[in-house]
Amino acid sequence: RQILSARDGRPLRLDIRGDDRLNIAHPNVLLEAAATSFQVHFQMPAERLVRAYNASCLVSAPMVALAANSPYLFQCALWDETRIPLFEQAVDTSPLTGDAPRRVTFGEAWLEDGLLECFEDNLSRFPPLLPQLFDEPPEHLHHLRLHNGTIWRWNRPLVAVDDEGAVTLRLEHRVLPAGPTVIDMLANAACYVGLAQALSSLYQPPESRLPFVDARTNFYEAARRGLDAEFRWLDGRVIGCRSLLLDTLLPLADDGLSALGVSAAVRRRYLDVVRARVAGGQTGARWQRAYIHEHGRNFADLLAAYCAHQREGMPVHEWPV
Mean pLDDT for 152-156 is 97
- The answer to whether 86 and 14 are in contact (CB under 8 A) is yes
- Residue 77, beta-bridge partner list: 72
- Please state which of the ranges 24-38, 227-241, 252-266 shows the lowest mean pLDDT: 24-38
- The answer to whether 41 and 157 are in contact (CB under 8 A) is no
- Please state which of the ranges 48-57, 132-141, 193-202, 217-226 shows the lowest mean pLDDT: 132-141
pLDDT digits (tens, 9 = 90+) for 158-171: 999 888 888 899 99
Mean of the per-residue pLDDT values for the chain? 94
pLDDT at residue 302 greater than cutoff 90: yes
How far out from the chain centre does Cα 152 lie? 10
Question: In Å, how far are 40, 140, 184, 237 from 310, measured between CA atoms?
Answer: 21, 43, 10, 38
Predicted TM-score of the model (pTM):
0.96
Instruction: Look at residue 168 and give its three-state secondary structure.
Output: strand
- Confidence category of residue 7, pLDDT binned at 50, 70, 90: confident
pLDDT of residue 276: 98
pLDDT of residue 118: 93
- Confidence category of residue 131, pLDDT binned at 50, 70, 90: confident
Query: At a CB cut-off of 8 Å and minimum separation 6, what does 95 contact?
Result: 6, 7, 8
- The answer to whether 273 and 315 are in contact (CB under 8 A) is yes
Which of 256, 246, 234 is closest to 42 using CA atoms? 256
- The answer to whether 255 and 202 are in contact (CB under 8 A) is no
Taking the C-alpha atoms of residue 137 and residue 31, their distance in angstroms, rounded to an integer, is: 37
Instruction: Look at residue 216 and give its three-state secondary structure.
Output: helix
- The answer to whether 142 and 136 are in contact (CB under 8 A) is yes
- Give CA torsion, residues 182, 187, 273, 252, to 10 deg: 180
Taking the C-alpha atoms of residue 131 and residue 146, their distance in angstroms, rounded to an integer, is: 9
Mean pLDDT for 311-321 is 96
Mean pLDDT for 168-190 is 97
Query: At a CB cut-off of 8 Å and minimum separation 6, what does 81 contact?
Result: 64, 67, 68, 69, 70, 177, 222, 223, 226, 285
pLDDT at residue 319 greater than cutoff 70: yes
Q: In percent, how much of the chain has pLDDT > 90?
A: 82
Query: At a CB cut-off of 8 Å and minimum separation 6, what does 163 contact?
Result: none
- Residue 17, beta-bridge partner list: 21
- Residue 72, beta-bridge partner list: 77
Mean pLDDT for 3-8 is 87
- Confidence category of residue 96, pLDDT binned at 50, 70, 90: low
Taking the C-alpha atoms of residue 46 and residue 35, their distance in angstroms, rounded to an integer, is: 30
pLDDT of residue 99: 66
The H or E element that residue 241 is part of is: helix 241-244
pLDDT of residue 98: 57
Mean pLDDT for 31-35 is 92
